[in-house]
Amino acid sequence: MPDKIKSRVDTLISNMSLRAKIGQLNQPETPTENNIEEFKEAVRRGEVGSILMSVGATAGNDAQGEINVDFYNELQKIAVEESPDGIPILFGRDVIHGHRTVFPIPLAMAASFNPELIKKCYRDTAIEATNDGVHWTFTPMLDLCRDPRWGRIIEGTGEDPYIGARIAEAVVAGLQGDDVSNKDSMLACAKHFIGYGASEGGRDYHRTEISDYSLYNYYLPAFRAAIKSGAMTVMSSFNDISGQPITSSRKYLTDILRNNLGFDGFVVSDYDAVIQLIKQGVAENSEECASMALNAGLDMDMHDGCYMDNLEKAVNSGAVSVDVIDEAVRRILTVKMKAGLFEHPYTKKIKLNRTEHLKDAREMAGESIVLLKNNDVLPINKSAKVGLIGPFSHERRSLLGSWTIDGKADETPTLAERMREVIGGNLNCISSSTLGWNSVNKNIAAADVVVLALGESWSATGESRAVSDITISSEQKELIKKAKTYGKKTVGVLFCGRPIAIEEIAEDLDAVLYAWHTGSEAAGAVSDILFGDVQPCGRLPVTLPRKATHIPLYYNVTSSGRPVNCYYGENPGNCYIDSMPTPYYPFGYGLTYTTFKYSDIKTDISKIAVSELKAGKKLRVSVNVTNKGTVSGKETVQLYIRDVCASIMRPIRELKAFKKIRIAPGKAENVTFDIGYEELGFFDDKGNYIVENGKVELYIGENCLTGKKTSIEIV
């Protein structure tokens, strides 16, 4: 901490009353008409350190209304000019994947394998949100998730810790900019710490079981990267791990988060998480809740008022020391000062031109969409007669996805509108949800190519939106089978938030585009790809299973002692005798409108010493990638490792690097990766990082199932 900020913070704290200090730890939600005056009085007394700019626990699924900048400026003026210490309020809002301009849901952005573009989109987001007075957003969500039944999988980065880390870096850099104190920079908040995405059965808010070894190697890397990139706030998670609620756990919030990961910012609870310690059975009353959470290292209490109502009593009883409160206040005030809140507490709204932001949104959506199958039907000739059918033909709101508080459905083009811009009268569009089968039959019969716009509603995803059946509706499956009976080339466009079980869907389609919920420009991006104006280049950041009953199914699994590593096709009939348990589409998978050939994989050295790796030496892995088609295309070259024999079981494959490159038709690119100490080791169950002697296999290819490999020896 710079000496100047430390001195200012120390001076402030020395002059604050205990009540005012506790006020800095208090984050109520935006007042309603019924309690505005009472709320203003609390601000005057210095009892509001931050305001949650929304109402309700599931703000991402509930209408919130537009931000009234004048109202928040009024509250800020009271805090700065009328409260005892003149400390400005920190305004926080769930700006998860865009503001007025909505970008793809985070899971879809992960499919882009393009951190630089993600960073750019979050820079756009910060510019828009800060113009509405938002200082702080509760993203990136870094919960590694292997169960797509969990509705909040849409907010994260999928099943891989390496991708999670790279996206964490991009989001933090985009939101906070070159200088977090700039008026158009917004504080990031890495959430949910830790293990929330492992909720048992995909049921939101439920218990988790995570070993310390898995915690350090799978669940913590993205948080480590976010902190290293400058994230100044972290949100704790609702869940427990092995019976220990995170909210009251000093092990997780102090020993691991602060002492191991080096986090020095402040921790905010999730909505009402402090008071829920009673329900979780570890606290008898609200005073115990407040004491346990604060002593564990949780600095700011979101919404439930547990700190505000109880910490004075806890100090008087000796359950909490003033020193602990001072330290929490110190962290919060330090972040406020670093964010420039004392220098520019008010928002002066300006008129923004979002033209470039919308262009970025279309590019991001285009890079996120994954082509899963293509039997010589895409791209569609623009002179063809196209029948567009399905419930998502005219859909607007679901294209934006869940956790879209400030985007507007009425500004979101439909797929029918965007396709008609390209082929005009050659498009015949109906919605199977509003018209009978006779109309559907006529549409199919008249078409050269049928496009089925299918998917899941935005309201079936997000917080408290777990589902037991991860597939599309039976009516949509019936529509696919109806189209197939005509023998027409049929394209399925799947607008989904989560990964779905895709058996009995993909088989009956000639082409499949996984379009996710890709935001304001989703329809335009899909149209661009359908007609060949943009090459598909997304890659799956999660596994698409055949059946929901195969969950969990993820690529970075350890090897069985028996020959039944089913993900990798080893005797899959021995995993389940009644179904094929291999992934329908594996992690990293995606097609383009051309084909690529990999050749000449090699390393510049065959052996390297642990001491050399620790000293910073790296080995170079290279591969030639040739575009064998007639059009230019983007390929995501992926490098995986396998530690063949270690002191503890290691995954069969681990993604350690990737590069997304464009290659002209008939041309070859030599792609290189420099691999060193950070890529070749792992954490033990105490959080110690280890690189061991032995053989390491290096796989390079188009997805995690690649068989192209070389190896090195660590000595």
- Long-range residue pairs from 471-476, CB within 8 A, at least 24 positions apart, any chain: 471/500, 471/501, 471/502, 471/505, 471/548, 472/496, 472/500, 472/505, 475/432, 475/433, 476/390, 476/391, 476/452
Which one from 132, 147, 160, 270 is the annotated catalytic residue?
270
* 3-class secondary-structure state, position 119: helix
* 3-class secondary-structure state, position 307: helix
Phi, psi of 612 (to 5 degrees): -70, -40
Give first-to-last CA distance, the chain, whole Å: 41
Determine the Cα–Cα distance for residues 424 and 488; give it in Å rounded to an integer: 21
Work out whether strand 654-663 and strand 619-627 pair parallel, antiparallel, or are unpaired.
unpaired
Q: Is the peptide bond before 148 cis (omega within 30 degrees of 0)?
A: no
Known catalytic membership, residue 270: yes
DSSP state for residue 336 in the 8-state scheme: H
Phi, psi of 658 (to 5 degrees): -155, 155
Contact 232, 187 (CB under 8 A): yes
DSSP state for residue 450 in the 8-state scheme: E
**Beta strand spans in 150-232 (E):** 189-193
- Tokens 């299973």 sit on residue: 545
* 3-class secondary-structure state, position 85: coil
Contact 158, 164 (CB under 8 A): yes
Dihedral angle over CA of 402, 119, 135, 178, nearest 10:
180
Closest CA to 238 of 531, 464, 552, 523: 464
Strand partners, 657: 639
Q: Which amino acid is at 598?
A: Y
- Tokens 């420039």 sit on residue: 340
What sign does the dihedral 400-223-698-569 (CA atoms) show?
negative
Work out whether strand 654-663 and strand 633-643 pair parallel, antiparallel, or are unpaired.
antiparallel
Determine the Cα–Cα distance for residues 201 and 60; give it in Å rounded to an integer: 22
Determine the Cα–Cα distance for residues 94 and 92; give it in Å rounded to an integer: 7
What is the edge-to-edge ordering of all strands in the sheet holding 233-236?
Answer: 189-193, 233-236, 266-268
* 3-class secondary-structure state, position 495: strand
- The catalytic residues are 270
